[in-house]
Structure 1
């Protein structure tokens, strides 16, 4: 049975899986219920899943005949968000929510694994990778450190993410950078506290923090080539707990985004200079902790061509678009793309009305794209296995 005929017959079951997963979101490296659910389904399809890479990762393989080996990856963690959808299948885990659609990603890849177990005719090996801790905790890198590519050798690797705001069922990608690198920073300020009525007796770390925040914006405005792209965002400022006391400590936290390591160096250098300058002018102590987190998500030319061609196998060519520029959001699939050629596509989830915005407390995955995503995984794997590497 063809994927186009098969997946509509199990759509209700796929939706049920997705809703069950949505009720049980788990944070990074805590995805035990989720991993058990995935493993149980894979065993039911006839696979022998491997557990434990990256802590809670699950990998299953199917091989038929001589041919290349490829990897298909889905992320599986939730976010530390309190759900406000009011749905009958809303999260049962307080303070945790599938607010990015990883529940749907799991189901689409599971559905493809099910089809290949029963119907697939191909020559080669398909590795189905269910990865923990995508949301800021680098689960892809953790699986690799635990030997993912040694235990499951593969020529190339692919990923897919739902994307609200793109028309429902539309695919989008681009060669080169699809998403930005992601770093975090923390700036700790220490001075001398004082009575708020006598500020001259102390060193105002909150005023210093505000100077640092405003000056950090000069990095992108004046230190980065206008034809390049970068973002510096302060997302937290903490200090003080009284109406009439100037605190002795304050902290700023935030993140940066960029598309190449040259920009990363510029951002770090300018940030250190700004922090040191403000510290000197206020006579306070300041410590900057800058942590590189995720590299940019870089699609290789051959593999993004395969991924886009697979999309045209199941939707019209008008529904497969090449993005004109990258997103400044980030994705830890980038680590896998540093180690192997591959590609990462977006699948349109439709309108953002009603809160369908990634990481929103009102987000809910669009169940109508489950079968589209499953069909794409099948078309992709068949194309990748039958396409020679030059």
Structure 2
């Protein structure tokens, strides 16, 4: 089954929706305009139920098939939020909001799922119910968790859930997926070092937090190189190093370090946290200083379920002629929360030779729309077929 003709017909309309969203990006849970547009279109399409305010600013639409003997309910999820990035694409539909940009393609995800919802509302060629989920705050806000915590899965009886993300560097409209652990758990840490400040010419009278912190940054790299099993991926990155002094001749009293930890298993996640705490305490004691470790647990590992992954791969192959094995991704994805509550799968669709996501020159490739929409629609029609 190649790309559905209906989506080729709708591509210009869906592209117009996408570019309007791109021009008007909204960050985290402040997706009020986007959510209103989504709700308006779902109502216009004739969805049987449209509910706003799920997970603060999320939107849910319900579409019932021509038959409902199967009792099946499938959820399809797209994210709506943008990133706090200043756009540098030069597009005629570039962001009109300074410091906000759809640099991850969530505008494309939302538009494609809207396109699929329009088609499914027109045809209803399935036996069961589809729940289209439009989620805020994927970029660090945990909007997926908020929607689950609002009881979304139980309220609509969702039995399986599917997600999709565009992927630069892959041929446009091609697909890739992997079973099991896919996207990484994303944790954050803060290390607050306290020493004894003083004159830079008299270091012997101080407890030098800069030297202590420098040693700590290097010591943390041994978690990956010496504490972790080499075949169990872990990334420990220090991303911020700030002292309490800006003067060239002052040894600072305090240093504040921030960083992130990415892991693919719960065991490695626990080990990385323990080693950060132990190494921090040891380095501080060695230099005679004090340290406070603040550890924030972020998104869990996103795990694709076996049966649903095989099915998602089958649908992708029917559309594009194949589906590659996706690599492990050390970035995070809060669709992980939905996959913890229900079986399902998450797939990548090619965005072509574009800038990478989270880059100020990135742009979603509208040529991916027919393939993405077709995958959503085929998931529904093939997973909940109408019996002959």
TM-score, normalised relative to structure 2: 0.95
CA contact 1:3–1:378 (8 Å) conserved in 2: no
Q: Which residue of 2 aligns with 1:13?
A: 13
Identify the match of residue 227 of structure 2 among 223, 228, 239. 223
Matches within 5 A, 1:333-352: 333-352=335-354
What SS does the aligned partner of 2:176 have? strand
Q: Which residue of 1 aligns with 2:325?
A: 322
1:387 Cα deviation (Å)? 10
For 1:36-185, what aligned pairs fall within 5 Å after superposition?
Answer: 36-47=36-47, 48-64=49-65, 65-66=67-68, 67=70, 68-185=72-189
Moved over 6 A (4+): none
Kept after mapping to 1: 8 A contact 2:138/2:334: yes
Question: Match for 1:270 among 256, 265, 275?
Answer: 275
C-alpha distance in 1 between matches for 2:3 and 2:63: 17
Name 1:237's counterpart in structure 2: 241
> How far is the alpha carbon of 1:245 from its aligned partner?
1.9
What's the CA shift string for 1:197-249, capped at 9, x where partnerless? 22222222121111111100000100111121111111111113222222211
Question: Partner of 2:306 in structure 1?
Answer: 301
Corresponding residue for residue 4 of structure 1? 4
Aligned partner of 2:365 in structure 1 is 366
Q: Cα 1:123–1:110, aligned 2, differ >3 Å: closer, same or farther?
A: same
TM-superposed CA distance for 1:156, in Å, is: 0.4
Q: Which runs of 5+ in 2 are unaligned?
A: none
Any idea what the Cα deviations from partners look like across 1:92-118, whole Å, max 9, x if unmatched?
111111110000000000000000111
**Contact residue 164 and residue 351 of structure 1 kept, 8 A:** yes
Q: Which residue in 2 is equivalent to 1:382?
A: 381
**Cα distance in structure 1, aligned partners of 2:353 and 2:278:** 43
Contact 2:127 2:386 in 1 (8 A): no
Matched residue SS, 2:130: strand
For each residue in 1:170-215, what CA deviation from the matched residue of structure 2 results, as whole angstroms up to 9, or x when unmatched?
Answer: 1000111111111111111112221222222222212111111110
The CA deviation at 1:3 is 6.5
8 Å CA contact 1:238–1:250 kept in 2: the answer is yes
